[in-house]
Structure 1
Amino acid sequence: MAVRKTSHFWIHAGLISFTLLTIYPVLWVLALAFSGQQSVGLVDLPKDPSFLERARGILPWPAHVSVKNFVDVMTEQPFGRWLLNSVLVSVMTTLLGVFLACTAAYAFSRFRFPGRDSGMLAFLVSQMFPGTLMLIPLFIIIVKWLGLGNTFWGLVIVYATTAIPFCVWMLKGYFDTIPIDIEESALIDGASRQTIFLKIILPLSTPAIAITALFSFMTAWNEFILASVFLEAETMYTAPVGLRFFVGGFSSQWGFFAAGSVIVSLPVVILFLYLQKYLVSGLTAGSVK
């Protein structure tokens, strides 16, 4: 019993250590955001600091708590416009990505047609390459061929294209778990394929669709490289691209950067907390009966 307690102690100690190591940078961002200043050093140390003063200098805790950075970043900087741009791009990407992924995944799950296996394999292979590898082809297609450079629609098409393969694979696997007997019963009752898909399959697939929507939203909300390449006008920037200009080679506004990072993180946290109730599986249990 003593050996087991000792082993559990070291396991818990290791988990706590890694947890503190993970949240330490996050605490620094929060401390800098609520410090009301732009410098990284939250505590002014004396010339010859003591051990306690040095320890205080590494603690992520501001000397004075203030919301000045949050107010200034939303009023004195165009961050509010950038945030609205991110909302528009992310919502349009989510709607387009979920619509295309649901229809494609249902077709791959229920129908047998030439190229079905090759199509799923192509989706899988596309996930094996980094996103930056497609930067040049996407730039040629979106900017040169379609003329959608520096537009939200061009960015939405790019984001939806990169998110669809993963979403199709995830939804296809979930559609496979739904008993086909439900659809056969509906067909006997005279329901069309469209009615079955809209009134039966989609309601039963709410957990998978919710996670797919969250993934599509996060793909567009957090992406930086593609947005910085396709968007040229400052008024068109998304929030991640706008955050880059707070920290540059000549001036570093770390307080605005930290406050903006906290604001950008809030929608994703709220969405995850709201959608986590849909993670519970088993909605189809007993549906056949």
Structure 2
Amino acid sequence: MALAAGWTSLRWWSWTAFVLGTMIFVLPLLGMAEFSLSMRRGVYSFDAYVSVLGDPAFRRTFLYSVMMAGLTIVFGVLIVVPTAYWVRLRMPRLRPVIEFITMLPLVIPAIVVVFGYIRLYNTSSWLPLTGSDLGTNILLMFGYTILALPYLYRAVDTGMRAIDIATLTEAAQSLGAGWLTIFGRLILPNVLVAVLSGAFVTLAIVMGEFTMAALLNRPAFGPYLQLVGVNKAYEPAALAVIAFAITWACMGLIQLVTRLQKHTRAAR
């Protein structure tokens, strides 16, 4: 009897914590969405969304950040996946060192990184990358990769823990496969969900990052959000709702890819 009463009490407290947590998370979002629809006095309308989506600066900055996110994801995957694979396969003793290095972006502010870029690669330095749009975009991509490194590496490393890399590699080598074949056709498909998880986190970081893009004077989405937030009232709420919808869409895509991969493995 006492055990049943304790179990009932635990369930009650669990549901109470769940409801309170949901309210803390959902109510501000509902308030923000309601405010974004209140641009026309006394009537709910999508005027703020029409104003935002019709702004040429929105389309220009949004597309620029999406492009930079794609480049950052490709560059980050090309660096992180081979590194995590090789460290786990051949150099397990270096894992603590690699993990420490990948954690550094969490404690080094982005403004420190970007000032270092400006100091080292300005127009009077040995490699004047900031003297052209292409060079500045490359610097910004490097900066975004650094910011996303902790999350991308953790996602890929966790995905590789779920598979027996040593056995898969030895089996592929016994069949005559080279390193590129092993990596491209064996390792990468098995950690695809982990890579996509890190890629979507990278996308979210790039879309909302302000410091690096502003100091490098790039037409990115983060500085545009700040500019709209300073000069307008309802449009920032509409932008926040749009950004939130994009984030949830990315999470849904992760779940979809995970389920498709599970069905594919089950079919095999």
Could you state the TM-score of these two structures normalised by the residue count of structure 2?
Answer: 0.80
- The 5-angstrom pairing of residues 241-280 of structure 1 reads 241-248=223-230, 252-279=231-258
Deviations 1:182-223 (A, max 9, x none): 221211111111111111111111121111211222221221
1:228-281 residue CA offsets vs partner (Å, 9 max, x unmatched): 2112xxxx4222211212233xxx42111111222233322212101124457x
The one-letter amino acid of 2:248's match is V
| Residues 247, 194 of structure 1: alpha-carbon distance in 2 compared, 3 angstrom cutoff | closer
Contact 1:97–1:216 (8 Å) recurs in 2: no
Shift of 1:22: 2.1
State the 4+ residue runs in structure 1 displaced beyond 6 angstroms: 113-116
- 1:26 alignment partner in structure 2: 29
Is 1:227 the counterpart of 2:213 in the alignment? yes
Q: 2:142 aligns with which of 150, 157, 170?
A: 157
Give the Cα–Cα distance (whole angstroms) in 2 for the partners of residues 136 and 113 of structure 1. 34
Match of 1:194 among 176, 180, 194: 180
- 8 A Cα contact 1:105 1:169, kept in partner: no
After superposition, the Cα gap between the structure-2 partners of 1:77 and 1:181, relative to the gap in structure 1 and judged at 3 Å, is closer
Count of aligned pairs: 253
1:210 aligns with 2:196: yes
Deviation at 1:153, TM superposition (A): 2.5
Q: Which residue of 2 aligns with 1:78?
A: 57
1:58 matched to which residue of 2? none
Q: Partners in 2 of 1:21 and 1:112 — Cα distance?
A: 45
- More deviation, 149-158/127-136: 127-136
Contact 1:32 1:255 in 2 (8 A): yes
Find the counterpart in structure 2 of residue 57 from structure 1: none
How far apart in 1 are the matches of 2:15 and 2:104? 39
Give the whole-Å Cα distance in 1 for the aligned partners of 2:200 and 2:25. 23
* Higher Cα Rg, which structure: 1
Following superposition, the deviation at residue 142 of structure 1 comes to: 4.6
* Deviation larger for 124-133 or 102-111: 124-133
Q: Name the aligned partner's letter for residue 208 of structure 2.
A: N
- CA separation of 1:229 and 1:169: change in aligned 2, threshold 3 A: same
- Matched residue SS, 2:228: coil
**Cα 1:65/1:101, change in 2 over 3 Å:** same
Indicate how the Cα distance of structure 1 residues 114 and 3 shifts in structure 2: closer, same or farther if over 3 A, else same.
closer
Residues 166, 141 of structure 1: CA spacing in aligned structure 2 closer, same or farther, 3 A cutoff?
Answer: farther
Distance 1:76 1:186 in 2: 53
Q: TM-score, normalised by structure 1?
A: 0.75
Measure the CA separation in 1 of the matches of 2:52 and 2:100: 46
For 1:160 and 1:87, locate their aligned partners in 2 and report how far apart those are by CA, in whole Å: 14
| 27 and 104 in structure 1: CA distance in 2 versus 1, 3 angstrom threshold | same
Amino acid corresponding to residue 52 of structure 2 in structure 1: V
Instruction: Tell me if the contact between 1:211 and 1:275 (Cα under 8 Å) persists in the aligned partners.
Output: yes
- The Cα of 1:169 is off from its aligned counterpart by 4.3
Gaps of at least 5 residues in structure 1 are 43-62
Query: Letter of the aligned partner of 2:226 in structure 1?
Result: R
Deviations 1:69-112 (A, max 9, x none): 11112224621212111211111111111121112212212224
Q: Percent identity?
A: 20
Measure, in 1, the Cα distance between the counterparts of 2:157 and 2:15.
39
